């Protein structure tokens, strides 16, 4: 992996970069759609390419449980298995395991958990997390980390942070695949001194890139922004900074202003399947009665396949009739919106008007759906 800084914004910490991976080359800041189980729900790989997407995320936890990382390795790796010849980032599965609550038990060696599918018991260690991701053959792998719950005490958070550092070191030792970059994950919850300690410890381990985990888990947005303000200056300029699990446009803008390069989230695809779509004026719900006879596109300024060919009235009908096409067309639109949004941000940084772009976007974009 190679990361090159192209341009810095004069007024903020926003930056334009180029990330070269085994299967793709992308400019940052970038948003990665989530393909949890080796598929971005409701989308063909060819559709993703038409939109312009070059890097997606898949989930190690789910692929380990079904169909199994060794089966995928036998198929030629995840790229071949899912017919995707562009970039893939895999997470370690840690977040999913720690979300199981009563179905898992944390030890210093690793975490014992029960499958949400069949109740079978498993023991996820840093070494197994690396084995799984090396079998999958993703372009970027993530270290196994422990995400403290929200809210959590100082002691809980510190224990999770220290354990994440130790696990990161074990991941680095056991990771051998040369065509796969391994990113460390900074934890520390919402305690500035723990965030700082985690960031300095991860940087000392010298990973090619760094994820920032344990944010966007229910805390007020300003709290998240304050944590970013603490962490990003501690990450070397020549390493990409990845804010995990954030996909809301306003939060993305604020994070980029604070120096973040990479994002992922299920929000655009999950919302689309529930009839919530982005527009340049904010999200709208397509099942509202006001759209029953609205024969205009979702967003008149959007040039996606859905907006060029279909109306809100038709999409509302599809959702009401529970037709599969409703998810396909809404997802296409939302992913196009995100890709176009990120491209506009990159252009604004490149041409020196990021602050103006952000201000103008926020003047139009209302985060609350219409009543």
Angstrom distance (rounded) from CA 180 to CA 138: 6
The stretch 257-278 carries a mean pLDDT of 98
Asked if residue 249 and residue 293 are part of one domain, the reply reads: no
Domain for residue 164, yes or no? yes
Averaged over 281-304, what is the pLDDT?
Answer: 98
**How far apart, in whole angstroms, are the C-alpha atoms of residue 231 and residue 208?**
16
- Is the domain of 240 the same as that of 279? no
From 265, 294, 320, the end of a domain falls on 265
Residue 64 within a domain:
yes
Same domain, 342 and 227: no
Same domain for 63 and 81, yes or no, is yes
Q: Are 289 and 237 part of one and the same domain? A: no
Express each pLDDT in 45-73 by its tens digit: 999 999 999 999 999 999 999 999 999 99
Question: Taking a C-beta distance cutoff of 8 angstroms, is the pair 245, 17 a contact?
Answer: no
Residue 9 has pLDDT above 60, yes or no: yes
Contact 31, 342 (CB under 8 A): yes
CATH code of the domain containing 66: 3.20.20.105
The answer to whether residue 67 is domain-embedded is yes
- The verdict on residue 72 lying in a domain is yes
Number of CB atoms found within 10 A of residue 284's CB: 20
What confidence score (pLDDT) does residue 102 get? Answer: 77
Distance of CA 157 to the CA centre of its chain: 22
Whether residues 207 and 236 fall in one domain: yes
Q: Are 307 and 72 in contact (CB under 8 A)?
A: no
Q: Are 141 and 290 found together in one domain?
A: no
Q: What is the pLDDT of residue 353?
A: 98
Within-domain flag for 270:
no
* 145 is known as an active-site residue: no
Task: Report the mean per-residue pLDDT for the chain.
Answer: 96
Q: At which of 244, 265, 286 does a domain end?
A: 265
108: annotated active-site residue = no
Q: Are residues 245 and 114 located together in one domain of the fold?
A: yes
Instruction: Check whether residue 258 and residue 120 sit in a common domain.
Output: yes
Least confident segment among 112-116, 141-145, 261-265? 112-116
pLDDT of res. 367: 76
For residue 263, the number of C-alpha atoms closer than 13 Å in the C-beta half-sphere is 26
Q: Which residues pair with 277 in a beta bridge?
A: 284
84 has a pLDDT exceeding 60: yes
* pLDDT for res 368: 65
Domain around 19: 2-265
Question: Residue 24 burial (CB < 10 Å; 0-12/13-18/19+)?
Answer: middle
Over residues 97-139, the pLDDT tens digits come to 888 877 889 999 999 999 999 999 999 999 999 999 999 999 9
Q: How far, in Å, CA of 43 to CA of 24, rounded?
A: 20
Q: How confident is the model at residue 19 (pLDDT cuts 50, 70, 90)?
A: very high
Annotated active-site residue in 91, 139, 145, 299: 91
Q: Per-residue pLDDT averaged across 146-157, rounded?
A: 94
Same domain assignment for residues 237 and 318? no
pLDDT above 70 covers a percentage of the chain that reads: 99
Q: Which two three-digit tokens encode residue 28?
A: 């940052």
- 326-368, pLDDT tens digit by residue? 999 999 999 999 999 999 999 999 999 999 999 999 999 987 6
Give the chain's domain count: 2
If asked whether residues 260 and 282 sit together in one domain, one would say: no
Instruction: Please indicate, yes or no, whether residues 84 and 215 belong to a single structural domain of this protein.
Output: yes
Q: Exactly one of 9, 139, 145, 264 is catalytic; which is it? A: 264
Domain's final residue, options 265, 296, 314? 265
Whether residue 370 has pLDDT greater than 60: no
pTM of the model: 0.97
- Residue 209's Cβ-count burial label (10 Å; 0-12, 13-18, 19+) is buried
pLDDT computed for residue 371 by the predictor: 39
């Amino acid at each position: 992996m190679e990361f090159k800084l192209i341009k810095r914004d004069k007024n903020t910490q926003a930056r334009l970069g180029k990330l070269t991976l085994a299967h793709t080359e992308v400019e940052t800041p970038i948003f990665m759609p989530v393909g949890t189980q080796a598929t971005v729900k409701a989308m063909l790989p060819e559709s993703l390419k038409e939109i312009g997407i070059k890097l997606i995320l898949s989930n190690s936890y789910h692929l380990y449980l079904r169909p199994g990382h060794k089966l995928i390795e036998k198929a030629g790796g995840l790229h071949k298995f899912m017919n995707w010849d562009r970039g893939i980032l895999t997470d370690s599965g840690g977040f999913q395991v720690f979300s199981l609550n009563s179905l898992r038990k944390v030890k210093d060696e690793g975490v014992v958990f029960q499958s949400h599918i069949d109740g079978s018991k498993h023991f996820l260690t840093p070494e197994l997390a690396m084995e799984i991701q090396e079998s999958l053959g993703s372009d970027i792998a993530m270290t196994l980390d422990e995400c403290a719950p929200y809210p959590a005490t100082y002691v809980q958070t510190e224990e999770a942070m220290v354990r994440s550092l130790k696990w990161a070191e074990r991941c680095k030792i056991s990771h051998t695949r040369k065509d796969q970059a391994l990113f460390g994950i900074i934890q520390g919850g919402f305690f500035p001194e723990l965030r700082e300690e985690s960031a300095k410890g991860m940087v000392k381990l010298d990973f090619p890139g760094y994820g920032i985990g344990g944010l966007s888990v229910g805390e007020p947005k300003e709290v998240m922004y304050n944590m970013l303000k603490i962490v990003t200056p501690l990450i070397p300029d020549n390493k990409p900074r990845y804010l995990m699990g954030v996909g809301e446009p306003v939060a993305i803008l604020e994070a980029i202003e604070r120096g973040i390069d990479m994002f992922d989230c299920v929000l655009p695809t999950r919302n689309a399947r529930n009839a919530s779509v982005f527009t340049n004026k904010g999200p709208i719900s397509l099942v509202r009665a006001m759209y029953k006879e609205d024969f205009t596109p979702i967003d008149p300024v959007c040039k996606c396949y859905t907006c060029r060919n279909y109306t809100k009235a038709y999409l509302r009908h599809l959702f009401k009739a529970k037709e599969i096409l409703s998810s396909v067309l809404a997802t296409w639109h939302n992913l196009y919106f995100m890709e176009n949004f990120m491209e506009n941000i990159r252009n604004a940084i490149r041409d020196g008007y990021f602050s103006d772009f952000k201000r103008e976007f926020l003047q139009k974009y209302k985060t609350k759906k219409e009543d």
